[in-house]
Structure 1
Amino acid sequence: MKIASLRDKGGGKLSLLDLVKEAGIIGAGGAGFPTHVKLAAKAEYILLNGAECEPLLRVDQQLMALYPDEIIKGFEAAGRLVGAEKALIGIKGKHKEVVSILKERIGALQLSDFVEVRELQDAYPAGDEQVLVYELTGRVVPEGGIPIHVGCVVINSETALNICHASLKRAVTEKYITIAGDIPKRLTVKVPVGTPMIEVLKLSGIENFADYAVIDGGPMMGPVMRSMEAYVTKKTKGLVILKKQHPLIKRKTTSLEQAKRVNKSCEQCRMCTDLCPRYLLGHNLQPHKMMRVTNYGLQEAEDQTMVYLCSQCNLCELFSCPIGLFPKSNHQYLKQKLIEKNIRYTPVPTSFEPRKNREFRLVPSKRLIAKLGLYHLDKPAPMTDITLEPEVVYIAKSQHVGAPAISVVSVGDHVNAGQLIGKIPENSLGAAIHASISGTVVETENAYIAIRRDQ
């Protein structure tokens, strides 16, 4: 298969930042924030998020073991670009083999004075951006803030790998995905962006999904897919397949109205607040108080804008509450009400200190997995060399934070894998998109650019 490379405009040499932008790199495991915007900042630290704290997912730990040089080089290049004094890799200490590989390769690449591995506890949510910043640097991101506010830029392992590829003028056209859950075959694979999700799901060994539900992402934060008619994006990280009767699926498919009714039984025990990762970092996010606001119709008694501080880690709903209520859903309800009234959170400049009991209130991953009813499914999902060749790929114009990409191709055009098919709108936040296979463009309207594979 011919791979088209990123091309210099006007024959000039592109900078690494230009190459990252041209490659369409975004956060590979989160909201999909365009990486070129992050790397345009100046920071004291650049941090590699290798925590992969969501249960059952296995992408990052395997990429760091299989492609350590590429990830380290991409990470180092990104660090130099932002002017960082230090590049810190955060990875859970339980991944001893991966830690050993990274340390050895950092030394072999003569980068020990700049790149350093720091081990994290096996707790959830170690991969939360603000938690990671504190664990690696001791700094607390302010309420409503982002890591750059305390001199940090954060990228994840796959993003660092993509930066290395961009330096070689290769665009983002493929995605690594873990397929896990109550299935015959647990595995991690690399597939073209835009692959129909059903083709990926069938790699699990299941053909008929009538009795199954699929979580798009990790068990904690990932939503249950409403339809199997979906397509792989640059953000797709994991697919967790469970029987529809599984308690986790029932919890995740509870409607907001159902959650509001159940929430009336809140006993104000404070467990949702006492274990909240953002509260433990010193932020004024207190879910139990927001439950009180809704249940008693309080309007002015509390500062309701604190709900904007919620990271939606779901710890309060899926672990902390002893009677199975829905504090995070309550945050969503109150936030929507505030948005309708055009009331926003206004940050107050101040410094924050973690609460003194934080170290004793971290949630061990194994306890979380057991509470989710996934303990028997917490098994390896090895990287597997499977070649998926979808007949048609559907590449979303909007699979990132910002404006949708604008098509630069027309129906009937022939494109090569790696060729630019969608550009960033002028003066907008966004990311470019590229053909993930060679073939003929068959659709450019609406939300996707579709390409039919060459026969």
Structure 2
Amino acid sequence: MSLLDMVREAGVIGAGGAGFPTHVKLASKSEYILLNGAECEPLLRVDQQLMKLFPDEVIKGFEAAGRLVSASKAIIGIKGKHKDGISILRERIKALQVGDFVEVKELPDVYPVGDEQVLVYELTGRVVPEMGIPIQVGCVVVNTETALNIYNASLGQSVTEKYITVAGDIPKSLTVKVPVGTPIIDVLKLSGIENFDDYAVIDGGPMMGPVMSNIDGYVTKKNKGFVILKKQHSLIRKKSMNLEQARRVNRASCEQCRMCTDMCPRYLLGHNVQPHKMMRALNYALTDVEGQKVSQLCCQCNLCELFSCPVGLYPKSANVYFKEKLAQQNIRYKPMQSEFASRKSREYRLVPSKRIVARLGLHDFDKPALMTKVEIKPELVRIATRQHVGAPAVTVVSTGDHVQLGQLIGKIPEDNLGATIHASISGTVVECGNDFITIRRD
């Protein structure tokens, strides 16, 4: 079986949060393959630790992926502040004798350097076109944990576990490995908190992650971290604002200073995204559809809402409003050019991560979350059939079936984009629906 088939059968997807099926990416041919080890969201600590704890596995998986796409160079992008990790990686690259192909490049400690398009620019100097993807400029990007999973797939191991950071206003910050399908509440309680009545939980990083409406869900392959904060924390209040509330605040206070645009990472790469114009269109009910199309260039990094706007307004929400409205009408932005160059002002408008942490009120919680061996043995796991980009997996087991750890329980629908799913524990299938497969432990 080829490596591509192994990756496909193992159910490897983008582990950084997007969840795009990796076998589709690796079916391309590219000049560069890039490892996204930036982990630019504050408080999250998964990738930086995986590169130190499993350097050989990450490098081997990354190298194998690079050979598969016929890349001429494989570049690991990691923030320069992670000196220990950089030293370990460079030492192991030399020991594995892959230095002619794999190299480490240091990234600035700014947000959002882990954004796929920002990463491509920082590592290669190339700008991905508007509405485009990295392969259009000869790049394939994979996440650190994804590279580790590619290595495991080459050994015949499917993706059944997930690394997650638990951080925030909690007694104990930590990073753990848990079975896919584990109840999220079991993971949250590792923080030392038992009663969450006074707390809210952000699914993912504090910049892009949404506040969870409830914590009764289950871990998927896409989860990267959970940030636990008191409900009265300013970040929770900010993120809990609905679109209508945001619209009222915007209309009352926006003075069109355009800081949201001038600081926008995609705008600084030369794209035409201009959130201040979307604020104008939303506040005054402007109907120019052509002008609204630039909202679709927004990557929703949230820098405009959580940092750039001097009075704390909601430019991203304005972008999202028009993106959804245009999607309903099947209207899509069409770039007017194919080549782009970063704006000259970009180097002066990069936002240091420490400034982000301070602005979000997270300074006291910005601490190590060390990888901790905690044995979580949930009695039940509930594995989603859709935890990736594309169509949900098609169930290949039935209620009452006994399954083994790593066994295929959901396949990719024929002629569709998707990913396989596997049993994360050995046990009996007690529920088998279109959305979830529930397994009770032996």
TM-score, length of structure 2 as denominator length:
0.99
Find 1:111's aligned residue among 70, 76, 98.
98
Q: CA deviation at 1:340?
A: 2.6
2:323 corresponds to which letter in structure 1?
Answer: K
Q: Does 1:214 align with 2:175?
A: no
Q: Identify the residue that residue 109 of structure 2 maps to in structure 1.
A: 122
**2:205 alignment partner, SS class:** coil
Q: Per-residue displacement from partner, 1:223-266 (whole Å, max 9, x unpaired)?
A: 11111110000000000000000000001110100000001121
Q: Identify the residue that residue 433 of structure 1 maps to in structure 2.
A: 421
Q: Identify the residue that residue 143 of structure 2 maps to in structure 1.
A: 156
**2:201 alignment partner, SS class:** strand
Q: CA deviation at 1:375?
A: 0.6
Q: CA deviation at 1:301?
A: 8.1
Q: CA deviation at 1:341?
A: 2.4
2:112 corresponds to which letter in structure 1?
Answer: P
Deviates more, 1:410-419 or 1:299-308: 299-308
Q: What is the rounded CA distance, in whole Å, between the counterparts of 1:95 and 1:417 in structure 2?
A: 35
Q: What is the rounded CA distance, in whole Å, between the counterparts of 2:335 and 2:27 in structure 1?
A: 24
Query: Is the Cα–Cα contact under 8 Å of residues 173 and 192 in structure 1 kept in the other structure?
Result: yes
**1:441 alignment partner, SS class:** strand
Find 2:281's aligned residue among 271, 293, 308.
293
Query: Alignment identity in percent?
Result: 74
Q: Per-residue displacement from partner, 1:296-324 (whole Å, max 9, x unpaired)?
A: 22222862111111000000000000111
Q: CA deviation at 1:344?
A: 1.2
Find 2:388's aligned residue among 377, 385, 400.
400
**2:318 alignment partner, SS class:** helix
Q: Identify the residue that residue 232 of structure 1 maps to in structure 2.
A: 219
Q: Does 1:350 align with 2:341?
A: no
Q: Does 1:140 align with 2:99?
A: no
Deviates more, 1:59-68 or 1:343-352: 343-352
**1:317 alignment partner, SS class:** helix
Aligned length: 441
Q: Identify the residue that residue 49 of structure 1 maps to in structure 2.
A: 36
Query: Is the Cα–Cα contact under 8 Å of residues 395 and 434 in structure 2 kept in the other structure?
Result: no
Q: Identify the residue that residue 362 of structure 2 maps to in structure 1.
A: 374
Find 2:326's aligned residue among 293, 316, 338.
338
The 5-angstrom pairing of residues 301-340 of structure 1 reads 303-340=291-328
When residues 355 and 441 of structure 1 are mapped into structure 2, their CA distance, relative to the original with a 3 A threshold, is: same
Q: Identify the residue that residue 6 of structure 1 maps to in structure 2.
A: none
Structure 1 runs not aligned, ≥5 long: 1-13
Q: Identify the residue that residue 118 of structure 2 maps to in structure 1.
A: 131
**1:402 alignment partner, SS class:** coil
Q: CA deviation at 1:338?
A: 1.4
TM-score, length of structure 1 as denominator length:
0.96
1:285 corresponds to which letter in structure 2?
Answer: V
**2:33 alignment partner, SS class:** strand
Find 2:21's aligned residue among 23, 34, 37.
34
Query: Is the Cα–Cα contact under 8 Å of residues 293 and 302 in structure 1 kept in the other structure?
Result: no
Structure 2 runs not aligned, ≥5 long: none
Q: Does 1:445 align with 2:433?
A: yes
**1:154 alignment partner, SS class:** strand
Q: Per-residue displacement from partner, 1:392-415 (whole Å, max 9, x unpaired)?
A: 000000000000001100011100
Q: Does 1:84 align with 2:61?
A: no
